[in-house]
Amino acid sequence: MRELTQTEAIDLVGRFEAEQEIPEQMRADVRMLGSLLGQVLRESGSPGLYDDVERLRIATIQAYTDETPEAFARAAAIADSFTVERADEVARAFTAYFHLVNLAEEHQRVRVLRERDGRPDRERATDSVAAAFMRLAAEVGDDTALARLQALRFHPVFTAHPTEARRRAVSTSIRRLAALLEEHDASLRNGADQRRAERRMLEEIDTLWRTAPLRPEKPSPTDEVRAVMAVFDDTLFTAIPHVYRRVDDALQGPAAGGRAPVVRPFVRVGSWVGGDRDGNPFVTASVTRTAAKIASEHVLLGLERAASRIGRTLTLDATTTPPSAALVALWQRLAAADDEAAAEIAKRSPNEPHRRIMLLLARKLTATRERDADLAYRDPEQFLADLRIVQDSLVRAGAARQAYGHLQQLLWQVETYGFHLTELEVRQHSAVHAKVLAELDAAGPRSEQTEEVLDVFRSIAFLQERYGPRAAGRYVVSFTQSADDLAAVHRLARYAAGPDGDVPVLDVVPLFETFADLQAAPRILAEIVQHPAFAERLTATGRRLEVMLGYSDSSKDVGPVAANLALYEAQAAIAAWAQEQGIELTLFHGRGGALGRGGGPANSAILAQPPHSVDGRFKLTEQGEVIFARYGDPAIAMRHIDQVAAAILLASSPSNEERNRAAAERYASVAATLDEASRARFFSLVKAPGFAPWFARVTPMEEVGLLALGSRPARRGLSVESLEDLRAIPWVFAWTQARINLAGWFGLGTALEAVGDEQLLQRAYDEWPLLRTLIDNVAMSLAKADDRIARHYLELGDRDDLAALVREEMSLTRSWVIRVTGGTELLGNKPVLQRAVKMRSPYVDALSLLQLRALRALRDTPEGAPVDPEQQRLLLLSVSGVAAGLQNTG
């Protein structure tokens, strides 16, 4: 097939872009950023690089649009023709391009959100908390709806699972580019120096190009803690109180800010970063203490700055805004403890009592951060009490706007974050506890592992004493298989405390992960609530109980379809048991970013939950690249939180619960068929003799383990002889890299075929939220897959039978998903998502072709011969680039 002329290439790219119907402003951003990257490549000092990148780009676009074997073969031949050094440069160029496209898409989302926020009907957005409140009130009445709003709880838990493929240095460069793109927009609006803005972007893109895309070594757990802190500093500290403010503005209208808010803080942020030691030997008790210390320093510094800022602006004269008696008494108490500072502040703020107080409170926060015992706050409740005295004094003096303005936002921040910022959770495997307890009960010498496990409990006690009981205390037990697994935690805590020590306050959280454990969950819970220590804590919390469900291992255990159905049934059974026992249940969803690990839109998943399984409370893990995608930009973070909170509020509405209950009953026989057929199909693949080594050969699974993604090891053993050896994250990540995405869809086609009735399935898709969510997620997973590229990966193995099985199921699933959703192609009913996938696909193809040539060379290395480090580097570069292009990895 001949190479296109320049005119033909320009026409091809123009037609491809036009077909995607990209918004004009976003199209302009992509073109500008792409043009600047092209200039950087031409100036890179590598002759011909830009031309080679363009050759491959045009070829993959032609292969994507023509869908002919000849066009695809030509693109593959171009990728194969490069030297390893040139292929390395081309892979880096495409990866940089994806970072820029992702930035342009994020910028467009922010642009749209801001335009919507500027309209007077903003509060009537159909998926906002305010809109959800109105809908709920129409069903249950204003008073009940308000009570539910004020009891609402959204609890994201950040984890450090190794799914964020890009370096922190790259992320930082992209954030700088985001700010420059904002400046560029402003220059277009205001007629300012547009060329200056573009010059600065060119400089930053050059920095991005020259920054090594691969980490030289794995990050330490402390590095991972600091990465999460960047999200807090940049967005969450201010974004979450702004969400509260927006909801209150919508509900109270013009009176908002002039009277007490009706909204109570409904977000709590948890973290496993520095606390999750299941399978990670690098997370020690010392690391856990360090993680809590870093988080506390960040939040105290944020609170200190906010208090100082409010103090500097609260220049209210005592004659117009007289202090209350309580405020005067507070000043006297603070001044007595910090007399020199009080005298200086009084001199600078004459007759401004509220300002004086706030400036002294800021000093107390500084003392708290620096561990100055004479001035430090004992706990956040003490600080909240002082702030409420200030707020009450302002209200009494008629300054309600000052009382419920920025001061109210500071109160919300303290109520949300305390002095600890994130509620640090510990996780450990039940088998580790059993081993340590056996050693302790034998009363022999204690091993290093035993001392470390006991030190974790001492660390929890220390953190609770220093930062308050909310700072730490949840203890998640992985692979909970019996009530004894949970009771073991309390026994270990007593061993750690010794005869005279204090046992920390512990909320022990069972984690049910495998299919069998999910089925056994109600029985295990019924047993554990009879345990004395567990029952005592249950009483102390007002019969509150948290239960965690694992999406990853259950999906790897029985396949994505059966796992989704099993998770629904487990939630329904646990929720029914909790209702009978009078227990306030919170289900903790261990979802990953990828669809094979429970990923996908959270709000639609929430609305598909069984009756009483949400009840105004929703907790989930946020992992890897998802953290930065959802919380990296303030506008997007606020929108995400607003959408999720709205779904939580509506999930327990009578209409939604009745819809889910009725659909589950109506389509029970369909569910049974889907479960049986999908599981049998999944087992025919993963239980086939030699499957695990074949999987390791046809995907870059082994090489993924070489990427310095996170501190946690990728697998449980030294080799992969069975699926049990492999963690769920690389299982999903490897299939994603091979453009097969098998973990997100395999078995659904056979399951839908087993039902066979197309009209019945279309009705079920319309009426049954669980099936709709499952099929929509599969559609996205398949849209990001590519049958042509997948075939080349599968050919790396020597099992034609397994390769044929995968390709047949992919084709069958694609066909049935399109028919059930009523379209002509995947994601036809979700045009915005479809556009985003199509826009990226040919560029991802280019990186996949480079990855394939590297993987083929590595697989052809004779046994015992040294691995070519250049080919290995090329493969790892392509892995990073494909992850950036597909935007969900593991």
**Local confidence band at 680 (pLDDT 50, 70, 90 cut-offs):** very high
Calculate the average pLDDT of the chain.
Answer: 91
Backbone angles phi, psi at 799, to 5 degrees: -125, 85
- Alpha-helix runs per DSSP H in 597-743: 602-607, 625-631, 634-651, 654-666, 668-686, 691-698, 701-704, 728-737
Average pLDDT (342-368) is 96
Q: How far apart are CA 731 and CA 718, in angstroms?
A: 15
Is the pLDDT assigned to residue 600 strictly greater than 70? no
- Look at residue 163 in the predicted model and tell me its pLDDT: 46
- The verdict on whether 354 is a catalytic residue reads no
Name the catalytic one among 99, 107, 161, 420. Answer: 161
Q: How far apart are CA 456 and CA 495, in angstroms?
A: 12
**pLDDT tens readout for residues 744-783:** 999 999 999 999 999 999 999 999 999 999 999 999 999 9
> Is-contact 248 256, C-beta < 8 A?
yes
Residue 23, token pair as written in the block: 């918004």
Q: Check residue 75 and give left, alpha or beta (phi > 0: left; psi -120 to 50: alpha).
A: alpha
> Looking at per-residue confidence, does 399 or 711 come out higher?
399
Please name the residue that has the structure tokens 């950036």: 884
Q: How far apart are CA 841 and CA 732, in angstroms?
A: 19
Residue 566, token pair as written in the block: 């099993």
Is the whole-model pTM more than 0.75? yes
Tell me the pairing of strands 153-159 and 423-429. unpaired
Q: How far apart are CA 632 and CA 637, in angstroms?
A: 7
Share of the chain above pLDDT 70, in %: 94
- The verdict on whether 556 is a catalytic residue reads yes
Closest CA to 669 of 570, 760, 549, 790: 760
- Look at residue 490 in the predicted model and tell me its pLDDT: 95
Measured torsion, CA atoms of residues 605, 611, 617, 620, in degrees rounded to the nearest 10: -40
Average pLDDT (197-215) is 90
**pLDDT tens readout for residues 184-205:** 888 877 666 778 888 999 999 9
**SS3 assignment, position 216:** coil
- Look at residue 19 in the predicted model and tell me its pLDDT: 74
Name the catalytic one among 242, 364, 556, 619. Answer: 556
Please give the single-letter amino acid code of residue 823. G
Residue 95, token pair as written in the block: 């990866």
Average pLDDT (16-24) is 79
CA distances from 771 to 395, 768, 830 (A): 52, 6, 16
- Look at residue 11 in the predicted model and tell me its pLDDT: 80
- Could you tell me how many residues make up the chain? 890
Tell me the pairing of strands 153-159 and 270-271. parallel
**Local confidence band at 717 (pLDDT 50, 70, 90 cut-offs):** very low
Is the pLDDT assigned to residue 1 strictly greater than 70? no
Is the pLDDT assigned to residue 170 strictly greater than 50? yes
Average pLDDT (488-495) is 96
User: How many Cβ atoms are within 10 Å of 278's Cβ, its own excluded?
Assistant: 19
- Look at residue 746 in the predicted model and tell me its pLDDT: 97
Point out the least confidently predicted range of 106-115, 389-398, 489-498: 106-115
Helix (H) / strand (E) element for 794: namely helix 787-794
Residue 297: Cβ-neighbour burial (10 angstroms; 0-12, 13-18, 19+): middle
